Structure 1
Amino acid sequence: MSWGAMALAGALLWLPLSQAQAEDTITFAGWGGNYQEALSKAVWQPVAKQLGITIKEDNTNGLADVRAQVLANAVQWNVTELTIDGCAQGEAEGLFEPLDFNVVDKSGFDPAGVGKSFIAQNYYSNVIAWNTDKFGKDGPKTWADFWNVEKFPGRRSLRNDPAEVLEQALLADGVAPDKLYPLDLDRAFKSLEKIKPYISVWWSSGAQSAQLLTDGEVDLIGAWNGRVSAAQSQGAKVDFTFNQGILIADCLVIPRGAPNKDLSMKALAAAVSADIEANLPAYIDYGPANAKAYDTGKITPDVAARLNTSPENAKTQVVLHGDWWGQHGAEARERWSAFINE
């Protein structure tokens, strides 16, 4: 046999194998860093083993990346993670494949975390935290307390973004948690004007908020619970309450036009199953979105006590409505930009 014939025979033998490998491989895109490393161990590696497939991982910067791939008909990711407002906005733009709820079990999820083409994976909470050297265990327990600068004097910090902060402002102004939506923007910004002079730092990243706590640069802060608990574990003099925390979902989607759609759907379904979601607390203090994860026996009562989505903690919090932010986020952010820069 000639070298050319041998090469051709080799190529023909290799081609079906490579196609099979491609058919059994998907790519997940997440937020990167320690967060993605935790989710890789808790979710994607177990899913790959369960389904007998290869799951590659990439990083995303958010909805704009998905939009660019879809509009260019060059989708590289099979499943990607987005914030709940990005999921709602992308669904409105038709950027995702509809989920097959015969494959994906949504029965354990809060309806606010499920759309036609997205489903929540985990929740983080923006909670009230305080310096224990200043307040001991008796820090503010409500956003009205946080706004009360006479009862709780000190340096304050809030996130430099309207999402979560507008909800906090309305709760501080006396709006009942079950009456928050649709958000009253005029009332929210009027409430924010009251606290603005007392905000020492408007933080823009989770790392920054944790550093403010660790260094003792602020006495009170609205920050993500995972960052607060991490600061606690590293010796920061800080405590927090889940009461009136704002529960924010990260959700999963399949970009429109993604290859291996059926396998992508199976992988997404496995990722949000109760058994897989119950792995999360072993790697990160963000709570499973699937409430049935707490029925698997994997999450002990002691662990559940520190998780934001455990039944006891979830009932004292407010779920951020991604559908509202998907529809009105642009207007809210335009007003926020004017407010923060005035």
Structure 2
Amino acid sequence: MKRTLGLTLAASLLGTAVYAQEKTVTIASWGGSYQEAQSKALFDPAAANTGIIVKQETYGGMSDVRLQVSSGAVSLDIVASGSGSAARAGAEGLLEPLDYSIIDVSTFYPTLKSEFCVGGDVFSTVYAWNTATYGDAGPQNWADFFDTEKFPGKRAYRNKVAGALEPALMADGVAPEDVYTVLDSEEGIERAIDKIRELKPNIDVFWSSGAQHAQLMKDGEVDMTTGWNGRFDNAAKDGGKVKYSFNQALLDYDCFAIPKGAPNKDTAMEFLAEISKAEYQDDLPKYITYGPTNKAAYDTGEISAEVAAGLPSSPANAAMQLPVSLEWYAKWETIADEMYQEMLTE
């Protein structure tokens, strides 16, 4: 009896020790085809290779993180986020600074990481046109997009300031490398808004979501619009007569962040280091038309030249674009959006 009890106790203690050694992370993303792609390319293979147990959830964005941190009941270890949202959340004290001695970003594009988030995928804000209206000879820069004599037709434009001001300044003759310098004042912001104000009579719709601007092009309701490249790819696959260009596009990214007080912070840092490797990121384009943030992913042989030609972060396409400045958005977005909304209601 004593021997049986001793063996049972020993087994129990062994089981406890094994359980204690298990590493777990809880990751929250946005669900749907996006999270499915993340799972197939990043989460599942990295879990298999590291032995880290991954629990997945969907969430509503940084508002959920704010609620957890403020209540002191943080259950999430890693969250997917837009780069701008992560920058603002980091400044608010909602995120842990990332340890780049653990997470190797030496082969990342330098603009696709920040103190509080590491890039997970790359997308672009582009101008797209209806090929039924213009054929293949659509606009090739933002000046063309704003030129209603050269390209008459209905436009759509974003109803928020994010991604709205930079194209207007480029259309007004500002060189891409000078855009954020000009925007670093209320006068510069007003200059961009004035340019959009000029175009406003030709803007039929101020869109509020990626689904909306993709549908506008798919249905042929407008002749050209701004929007996100992946959405236009999907619209084209569904039969939409749409093309776009990466020239002067805005290079932006989604990223991964660790909420302040994450219960498995060290494991989360280890897991982010794993999924940032080229061997995982080169699988992303198999499941979603967003590019890897790790440039080395283009050198593994997994991404063909044909596929790379359609990805925002391929070296050739990235070189044509203006990287979005998170520093500018952290400093100016609130003020700029108030000014922009005033223009919209005029």
Q: State the TM-score bracket (shorter-chain normalisation).
A: over 0.9
Moved more, 12-21 or 111-120: 12-21
State the SS of the aligned residue for 2:164.
helix
Q: Distance in 1 between matches of 2:89 and 2:109?
A: 20
- 1:241-283 deviation digits (Å, cap 9, x = unpaired): 1111111111111111101211100111112111111111100
Check whether the contact 1:113–1:322 (CA below 8 A) recurs between aligned residues: no
Q: Is the 8 A contact 1:124 1:224 kept in 2?
A: yes
280-289 vs 102-111, which deviates more?
102-111
- In structure 2, distance between residues paired with 1:150 and 1:327: 36
Distance 1:335 1:76 in 2: 38
Q: Could you report, residue by residue, the CA deviation over 1:9-60 in whole angstroms, capped at 9, with x for unpaired residues?
A: 7996698279538x42211111222111111111111111111122111122
- Between 1:273-282 and 1:52-61, the stretch displaced more is 52-61
Is the 1:166–1:189 Cα contact (8 Å) retained in structure 2?
yes
SS at match of 2:156: strand
* SS of aligned partner of 1:270: helix
How many residue pairs get aligned? The number is 337
From 280, 285, 304, the equivalent of 2:284 is 280
2:320 to 311, 316, 323: 316
Structure 1 counterpart of 2:89, which letter?
G
Name the SS for the 1:287 alignment partner. coil
Q: Give how far 1:150 is off.
A: 0.8
Instruction: Name the amino acid aligned to 1:173.
Output: D
| Correspondences of 1:227-242 after superposition (within 5 Å) | 227-242=231-246
* 2:23 partner letter: D
SS class of match (2:153): coil
Equivalent position SS for 2:97: coil
Q: Given that residues 89 and 327 in structure 1 are in contact (C-alpha distance below 8 angstroms), is that contact kept between their aligned partners in structure 2?
A: no
What are the equivalent positions in structure 2 for 1:152-191 lying under 5 Å apart?
152-182=151-181, 183=183, 184-191=188-195
Q: Partners in 1 of 2:249 and 2:110 — Cα distance?
A: 18
1: CA distance between counterparts of 2:34 and 2:126?
Answer: 19
Question: What is the one-letter code of the residue matched to 1:274?
Answer: A
1:237 & 1:40 partners in 2: Cα distance? 31
Deviating more after overlay: 9-18 vs 33-42 = 9-18
Taking structure 1 as reference, are residues 9 and 315 closer, same or farther at Cα in structure 2, changes over 3 Å only? same
**Letter matched to residue 72 of structure 1:** S
* Residue matched to 1:112: 111
Counterpart residue number, 2:345: 341
Q: Which residue of 1 aligns with 2:302?
A: 298
Matches within 5 A, 1:95-110: 95-110=94-109
Residue aligning to 2:83: 84
The 5 Å alignment of 1:140-151 reads 140-151=139-150
5+ unaligned residues in a row in structure 1: which ranges?
none
| SS of residue matched to 2:329 | helix
Pairing 1:198–2:202 present: yes
Q: Which of 247, 259, 266 is 2:251 aligned to? A: 247
* Residue in structure 1 matched with residue 224 of structure 2 by the alignment: 220
Q: What is the TM-score when the length of structure 1 is the normalising length?
A: 0.93
CA deviation map 1:228-250 (0-9, x unaligned): 11111121111111111111111
TM-score (ref. length: structure 2): 0.92
Q: Distance in 1 between matches of 2:170 and 2:80?
A: 29
Question: 2:126 is aligned with what amino acid?
Answer: V
CA–CA distance in 2 between the matches of 1:292 and 1:35? 22
Q: Find 1:331's aligned residue among 329, 335, 345.
A: 335
Q: 2:52 matched to 1:53? A: yes
CA gap of 1:14–1:201, structure 2 versus 1, over 3 A, is farther
Name the stretch that deviates more: 127-136 or 12-21.
12-21
Q: Is the 8 A contact 1:87 1:322 kept in 2?
A: no
Amino acid at match of 2:217: L
The unaligned stretches of length 5 or more in structure 2 are: none
Question: Cα RMSD over matched residues?
Answer: 2.1
Report the CA distance between 1:84 and its aligned residue: 1.1
Q: 1:260 is matched by which residue type in structure 2? A: N
Partner SS for 1:116: coil
Deviation at 1:313, TM superposition (A): 0.7
Q: Matched residue of 2:331: which SS? A: helix
- Taking every aligned residue pair, what percent have the same amino acid on both sides? 45
Shift of 1:341: 2.0
Partner of 2:270: 266
Partner SS for 2:107: coil
